[in-house]
Chains A and B, each alone.
Chain A
Amino acid sequence: MSDKQNNPIAFVADGVIPESPPPARDTGAYKWVRENLFSSVPNSILTLFALALLYSLLSNTVPWMWNGIWTTSSLAECREILQGKSGACFSVLSERWNQLLYGFKYPGDQYWRPNLALVLLLVALAPVLFFDLPRKLLAFTVVYPFLAFWLIWGGTIMVPIVALVGFAVAAVVFQKLGKGSFAAGFFGAIVAALVIWKVGGMLIPEGASESAMLSPVPSRDLGGFMLNMMLGVTCVSLSVPLGIALALGRQSSMPLIKWICVVFIEFVRGVPLITLLFVASVMLSYFFPPDATVDLFLRVVIMITLFSAAYIAEVIRGGLAALPKGQYEAADSLGLDYPQAMRLIILPQALKISIPGIVNVAVGLFKDTTLVSVISMFDMVGMIRGPILASTEWNGVYWELLGFAAALFFVVCYGISQYSQWLERRLATGHR
Chain B
Amino acid sequence: MSTLTDPPQEQFRLSMLVNDTRYRSLTFQAIAALVLALAIWYLGNNLIQNLRAAGLNISYNFLGDRSGYDIAQRLVEYDSQSSHARAAVVGILNTLLVAFLACITATIFGVIAGVLRLSNNWLVSKLMAVYVEIFRNIPVLIWIIIIFTIMTAVMPGPREFRGADPSASMVFDLFAFTNRGVYTPMPLFANGLFASAALNWLLVLAVLVGSFFVMRKVNANATQKQEETGIRPNTLYIGLAVWIIPVVVLMLIMGLTWEVPELKGFNFKGGIKIGGPLIALWFALSIYTGAFIAENVRAGIQAISKGQTEAAAALGMRPGRIMNLVVLPQALRVIIPPLISNFLNITKNSSLAIAVGYADITATLGGVTLNQTGRAIECVLLLMLFYLTASLLISMVMNVYNSSVKLKER
Contact = CB atoms under 8 A, between A and B. Distances in A.
Interface range for A: 35 or more
A194 interface: no
B32 to A, nearest CB: 5
Contacts of A37: 121-123
21 contacts: A46-B116, A47-B121, A50-B121, A53-B127, A260-B32, A260-B36, A270-B392, A271-B348, A278-B370, A286-B46, A289-B46, A368-B139, A371-B141, A373-B355, A381-B141, A381-B145, A402-B142, A402-B146, A405-B142, A409-B139, A410-B137
Contacts of B391: 269-271
A290 to B, nearest CB: 5
A306 B354 CA distance: 23
A271 B382 CA distance: 11
A285 B50 CA distance: 9
A254 interface: yes
B141 A370 contact: yes
A47 B47 CA distance: 64
Nearest to B143: A406
B47 A374 contact: no
Chain B residues touching A, range: 35 or more
A247 B134 CA distance: 32
B383 interface: yes
Contacts of A406: 138, 142, 146
A257 B30 CA distance: 10
A420 interface: no
Prevailing SS type, chain B contact patch: helix
A96 interface: no
Main secondary structure of the interface of A (DSSP, over half): helix
Interface in A244-269: 253-257, 260, 267, 269
A255 B25 CA distance: 10
Which of B36, B116, B138 neighbours the largest number of chain A CB atoms within 10 Å of its CB? B138
A385 B145 contact: yes
B141 A373 contact: yes
Given A368-B139, A409-B138, A402 B380 contact: no
Contact of A254 (B25, B49, B119, B120): B25
A275 interface: yes
A39 B120 contact: yes
Contacts of A47: 121, 123-124
B401 interface: no
A192 B156 CA distance: 67
Interface string B343-387: 000001101101100000010001000100000110010011001
B29 interface: yes
B388 A270 contact: yes
Given A279-B380, A286-B47, A381-B142, A43 B121 contact: yes
B160 interface: no
A162 interface: no
